[in-house]
Amino acid sequence: MNAIRIRILPALVIVFWLSGAGYVSADELGGEILQEAEYLAEWVSFYASFDKGADADYAKGDPKKLEPDMPVTQGEGIAGKGLKVTYVREKTGKGATATIPVSLPVGYKLEGNLFPQAGAISLWLKVLPGNIDNSWFFYAGSPRYNFALFAQTKEFVGGVVMQHICSGRLAEPWQAGEWHHVAATWRGNIGALYCDGKKLAETTKGARISNGTVLTIPELFQGVNDFWIGAFRRAGTSGFRLGLSAEYDELIIFSRDLAEYDVGLLYRLGKEGSAFGPLLDKPGK
């Protein structure tokens, strides 16, 4: 007879994982951490393993990537395959330079996949060489506002920013070629940013945009219709710029905020090389 374990948890976190050939059940994997993380599957609204391409493995909204004719490049993942996005810098004249995508980023529709009122984003990434000072790796924007995550980079990543909300310097800078986990979570005026399972920064004061206007975090999503991985792309534009050259894996979006315990659990999952997908493959999910 199987024992049933019940945990009472805080309220704020993130997740993700990849498998190689195909999904197997948590019981077959036999991983204690994966079984412990099973409760998190109830809150997932979007999951992309990138094992079989860019379309989501699971989505409450549209699972298809935007601009289906635009090719994507698969690369190494934290568990299985990942998404590779790369940029080069080119001179445009008079000393100016532009970032040009070589391996293209991917975007998805926001509706049904991400809920502005509260949520969490979990993502593994491995930074590649050649990034500029500020490089975006998650961007959901309209002509007016945006919710975004970017890395402060120059040869290495020294800090991570949840734009308009909070930011933190890393105790140990990320070097090119290292895998790291980033999680962002929010509800109302409360937001928190995590790196490698540890809280990097937090706020209870909402979002402050450049003109000094103070908003709740959900208000940053006003007019936003899509989100992008590995790119800064405003609504209504066709180009990409300021994206982070990196390999990305295990993108998970939750329909509620997560707790510090949850984020740590997701980080431990990835470090073991376990994909989150098997938990979404279980009956009833």
CATH number (domain holding residue 111): 2.60.120.200
C-alpha pair distances (Å), 225 with each of 146, 175, 232, 257, 271 = 11, 33, 14, 21, 33
Does 48 fall in a domain? Answer: yes
Burial class (CB in 10 A: 0-12, 13-18, 19+), 204: exposed
Does 7 fall in a domain? Answer: no
List, for the chain, all residue ranges whose pLDDT scores fall below the cut of 70.
1-30, 92-98, 155, 234-239, 282-285
Per-residue tokens: 13: 């976190």
Does 4 fall in a domain? Answer: no
CA dist., res. 103 & res. 72, Å (int):
6
User: How high is the pLDDT of residue 1?
Assistant: 42
Does 2 fall in a domain? Answer: no
Number of domains composing the chain: 1
Does 1 fall in a domain? Answer: no
pTM given for the model:
0.85
- Structural domain for 54, as ranges: 26-280
Burial class (CB in 10 A: 0-12, 13-18, 19+), 249: buried
User: How high is the pLDDT of residue 36?
Assistant: 92
Closest-CA residue to 275 (of 16, 2, 1)? 16
Does 201 fall in a domain? Answer: yes
Does 265 fall in a domain? Answer: yes
